[in-house]
Amino acid sequence: MSSALVRMIDRLRERPDRLRAVFFGLLGLFVVYDVFTPRHELHFWGDRVRGFWALFALLGGLVMAKGMKGLGHLWLMKPEGFYDREED
Amino acid sequence: MGLMHPALLFVVGAALAAVLRGRPRQVVLVAVPLVAFLSVNAMVPGTYGTLEYLGFRLVPAHVDKLALVFLNVFTLMALIGAIYGLHVEDTGQHVSAMLYVAGSLGVTLAGDYLTLFVWWELMAFASAFLVFLRRRQASVRAGFRYLLVHTVGGLVLMAGIFLKWMKTGDLSFGPIPADTADLAAYLILIGFALNAAVPPIHAWLPDAYPEATVMGAVFMCAFTTKTAVYVLARAFSGYEVLAVAGAIMTIYGVLYAIIENDGRRILAYHIVSQVGYMVCGIGIGTALAVNGAVAHAYAHILYKALLFMGVGAVLEMAGTSKLSELGGLYRRMPLAMVATVIGGISISGFPLTSGFISKSMVIAGAGADHRTVLMLMLSLAAVGTFLSVGVKLPYFIWFGKDSGRECKDPPKNMLVAMGIAAFFCFFLGVYPDYLYRMLPFPVEYHPYNAYHLSETLQLLGFTGLAFYLLRKKLTPEAKLNLDLDWFYRRATAWFLRIDRRWFEPANEWVSEIYRRVGYRFALGAAALWSRFDVKAIDGVVDGSAYGVLGLGDRVRRAQTGRLQQYIAMAVAALFFLIALVVNL
């Protein structure tokens, strides 16, 4: 079973264009699905906006990743032995 | 009807694990949690075995719905962890793990603070050994930091318990309404919050867990923080401070997970984040939010253990858990890959997995209570969760650039344990009523509705897009990230430096002055005292002695041996006394 799984992954990795197309196709489908999804319980204004959570996730993901990497390089990231010197 | 206390079962199990070896020990390791799991499922709510001790009313076993759901998942997790560690020869690890679970179960059943405190401390000490026993210098140091932080937390908890006792004379462990909370309540809250890794008192967790043994980390990820969630849910439901702190936790944990390099440290930061959902739900305090917190604790224990087991297997088989040194392992460890991917999609809340039916309950609880900001924070944390554990972690371990590391899937017992946890991830996702029936309040929540499904698919899909766009930027870097443990790790180093620079020279200086001045002064003073002793003290003492001797000599001469003289002297003395009394 595990070798079949490995072969399947190998095959998928050999076809990155198809994978990409499927991925973007799915993203489009999710937004279209949201357009036609009925809203029964609205908690705030964002629930009314079609595709709100798509935008929220994309922007949230980008800002968190870029922000934390930036903060890391600016301040948080230190060499791996940073504390060892003091603790010896 | 009596009750077999499951904690005592684990204490006996620990003793047996210490003396047995080989197959008999393996049987004990599996049998103890299995029997405990079955006995917990047969437990009837009630209070068992109350006793008076030194004026305290102790309640070692109080069972209700809230306790039962935690006991259920704790014993199930103990069984999974025991199977995962069956191949481990190290006796210390098995004994520590058994005592650690015993502590956790003891806290869950405790009906008074004194009983709770004893089991609470057992948990801290037993779990510290799961860090020490990795036997690396970094682990021993992390273990001591872990122990010291938890000792401080334990002292704060004890101070709260003492204050409560002094004020009320009551040590029963139950809900403390937010509007009656006093200093004692808040000290107890801080003691509990430390174990729940609520920032800013959270750094012990990502510091210690990645340094634990492979088996130890699997146990640790399940018990300490979730026992803290249980005690918070029992005593502090509806505290606003917890609602806010929990929401902050969810974001804090994922932000660090995004930039971390060590796989087990990523997962450790994710515990902070996931426990944040539970703390937030408890803080909101409505039936839906508390149910969500408890459901999420149950689901989280299983998928987080699955992730720790998967990454632990990588550490054991490939020799490292650092993402910067891994990549392309799917060919060599395909079954471990499947396990971690299932854990990853569960924690991210994919439909049909446990995260989908538990995390959304907390978020819905925030929404239903019109807590829009909290709800958006929890949703943003869900984005960060998928970004870091759902995509980044598996991508850089299993796919990405092949590291060329020689390794293979772990031993069968580890795969079986991962299989059980993976099964529960799907089982709870497909059949949520199994979990919902155990929750403390009646459940009217239905996770599988069209809008929730649409919201989830968008969140996951477009987080995936964010990762795709930034995948090069997110390449792990072999760095250490500063966190609030800096304060006590650097502060101690600074203290040593200040000590070496200022206190030690000052001490030397004072010693030198003493040698040069004080010593001579002391000698001179001693000589003076000696002379005074000889001349003055001895003179007075010797003089007195000579005086007494002379007086004795005179008295001796006055003793003539003639009776008539003694009588005459006695009569004279009598008259003298009578005259004295009359004149007075």
Q: Would you call B262 exposed, middle or buried from its count of C-beta atoms within 10 A (0-12, 13-18, 19+)? A: buried
Higher per-residue pLDDT: B79 or B516: B79
Q: Do the Cβ atoms of B379 and A56 come closer than 8 Å?
A: yes
Chain A segment 16-35 residues within 8 A of B by beta carbon are 23, 26-27, 30-31, 33-34
Nearest beta carbon to residue B480 from set A9, A47, A80:
A80
Q: Is residue B232 part of a domain?
A: no
- Based on the domain organization, do B52 and B175 belong to the same domain? yes
Q: Is residue B231 part of a domain?
A: no
Query: How far does Cα B353 stand from its chain's mean position?
Result: 29
- Do B129 and B268 lie in one domain? The reply is no
| pLDDT score of B263 more than 80 | yes
In a domain, B175, yes or no: yes
Interfacial A residues in 50-69 facing B (CB < 8 Å): 51-58, 60-62, 64-69
Tally of structural domains, chain B: 3
Candidates A8, A47, A74, A83: best to mutate against B (most CBs of B within 10 A) is A83
Q: Is A8 on the interface with B (CB under 8 A)?
A: no
CB neighbour burial string for B23-36, b if at least 16 within 10 angstroms, e if fewer = eebbebbbebbbbb
pLDDT digits (tens, 9 = 90+) for A19-75: 999 999 999 999 999 999 999 888 899 999 999 999 999 999 999 999 999 999 999
| A39 neighbourhood in chain B, CB within 8 Å | 451
Select from B477, B512, B541 the last residue of a domain: B477
> What share of chain B in percent tops pLDDT 90?
82
Residues B530 and B445 in one domain: no
Q: Note whether B168 and B47 are same-domain residues.
A: yes
- Per residue in B289-305, pLDDT tens? 999 999 999 999 999 99
Q: Across the interface, which of B387, B451, B464 has its CB nearest the CB of A65? A: B387
A12 touches chain B (CB under 8 A): no
Across the interface, whether the CB atoms of A58 and B255 are under 8 A apart is answered no
Q: Which helix (H) or strand (E) is B312 found in, with range?
A: helix B287-318
Q: What pLDDT does A45 receive?
A: 94
B404 vs B531, residue with greater confidence: B404
- pLDDT, tens digit, 9 for 90 and up, residues B4-24: 899 999 999 999 999 999 999
In tens, the pLDDT along B131-173 reads 999 999 999 999 999 999 999 999 999 999 999 999 999 999 9
The residue among B56 and B115 whose pLDDT is bigger is B115
Out of B101-110, B179-188, B253-262, B519-528, pick the least confident.
Answer: B519-528
Residue B482 lies in a domain: no
Of B494 and A1, the one with more pLDDT: B494
Residues B297 and B423 grouped into a single domain: yes
Q: Is B483 part of any domain? A: no
Residues of B whose CB is below 8 A from A69 = 258-259, 473-474
* Domain boundaries defined on chain A: 1-37, 51-88
Q: Which domain holds residue B117?
A: 1-226
Q: How far apart are the C-alpha atoms of B477 and B208, rounded to whole Å?
A: 20
List CB contacts (< 8 A) between B465 and chain A: 27, 57-58, 61
Cα angle B265, B269, B271; round to 5: 115
Instruction: With beta carbons less than 8 A apart as the criterion, state whether A61 and B463 touch.
Output: yes
CA distance B227 to chain A (A): 30
Pick the last residue of a domain from B457, B477, B497: B477
Q: Are residues B384 and B519 in the same domain?
A: no
Name every chain B residue with its beta carbon within 8 A of the beta carbon of A34: 454-455, 458
pLDDT tens-place string over residues B267-279? 999 999 999 999 9
**How high is the mean pLDDT of chain B?**
93
In the structure, what pLDDT confidence band is assigned to residue B334 with cuts at 50, 70 and 90?
Answer: very high
Q: For residues B480 and A79, is the Cβ–Cβ distance under 8 A?
A: yes
Comparing A56-60, B48-52, B210-214, B215-219, which segment has the lowest mean pLDDT?
Answer: B48-52
Q: Are residues B502 and B445 in the same domain?
A: no
pLDDT of residue B4: 87
- Say yes or no: B355 and B219 in one domain: no
Q: How far is B212 from chain A (nearest CA, A)?
A: 18
Residue pLDDT, tens place only, B316-326: 999 999 999 99
Question: What's the pLDDT at B565?
Answer: 66
pLDDT at B117 exceeding the cut of 60? yes
The better pLDDT of the pair A66, B488 is held by A66
Q: Summarize the confidence of residues B360-366 as an average pLDDT.
A: 97
Residues 6+ apart with CB under 8 A from B435: B295, B298, B299, B354, B357, B358, B428
Q: How far is CA B166 from CA B159, B170, B171, B173, B184, in A?
A: 11, 8, 10, 15, 10
Alpha-carbon distance B488 to nearest alpha carbon in chain A (angstroms):
11
pLDDT in tens, B502-560: 998 999 998 888 888 878 888 888 888 888 877 777 777 777 777 778 777 776 666 66
Predicted local confidence at residue B543, as pLDDT: 72
Is B563's pLDDT higher than 70? no
**B454 lies in the same domain as B548:** no
**Interface test with chain B among A76, A78, A80, A88, by most B beta carbons within 10 Å:** A76
Considering only CB atoms, A57 lies closest to which of B258, B335, B463, namely B463
Q: Among partner residues B372, B457, B463, which is closest to A61 by beta-carbon distance?
A: B463
Q: Are the Cβ atoms of A79 and B338 closer than 8 angstroms? A: no
Best of B270, B418, B462, B465 to disrupt the A interface (most A CBs within 10 Å) is: B462
